[in-house]
Amino acid sequence: MGRWMVAVALAVLLGLQANPALSGPRTSAASNTLQIEKARIDRALAEMISGGRAVGVSALIFKDGREVYFGTAGHANREAKRPMRRNTLAQIFSMTKPVTGVALMQLWEQGKFGLDDPLSRHLPEFAETKLFAGLDSAGKPVLKVPGRPILIRDVLRHTAGFAYGPGDSVPEREFVRIDPLNLNVDLAEFGRRLAQVPLLFEPGTQWRYSAAVDVQALLVEKLSG
């Protein structure tokens, strides 16, 4: 199987150069002075390949409703020497996360929820989510009510305490067993399953990457109807 890497969107920022005479807060007039330097972006993409940071990359920039840059470097399939092209299919993975976050914050702007609302106010299944508090003398999990509820703010910043298995802890093993991310279940069932998985830590006390963005998606579904 050939190995390839998808485009790194941030690379295009290397091709955006503002007028150095501008200072102070960004304004619409200032943003209009941004220049797209094709050669600079081409060079940045080529350096990602030559430096071994990626096998293949592409960048596409739209400005004012029209395409102003497209370029590629490297291979879609290195072993077969197949170059990256405009129609090369790429797995975007976590680039769906910004879209989900924007959708949720649009609902916040509409007054559909507050950042410090308990998650269970909108998704009642999470009212019963317990916190893993260690093992008892017989080696069985001890579960208790968290010191405070999970807030929507926690879901946005990965501080809810959600497990994200597999792993060695009881919550991570339970995450694997309950399988909330099973591709055969919908968002509502995902939420019901995740709510059964004990939390790894008290909400708001630690940061840990998790399936919280999927919970954001569930909130968008619920709040938007």
Q: Which residues of the chain have pLDDT under 50?
A: 1-31
* Global model pTM greater than 0.95: no
Q: Which residues contact residue 88 at a Cβ distance below 8 angstroms, ignoring those fewer than 6 apart?
A: 56, 58, 72, 76
pLDDT in tens, 72-114: 999 999 999 999 999 998 887 788 899 999 999 999 999 999 9
| Residue 33, pLDDT score | 64
The pLDDT assigned to 23 comes to 35
Candidates 23, 28, 94, 137; catalytic one: 94
pLDDT given for residue 32 in this prediction: 58
The structural domains of the chain, ordered by start, are 9-91 (no CATH), 98-224 (3.40.710.10)
pLDDT at 21: 36
Q: Determine whether 94 is an active site residue.
A: yes
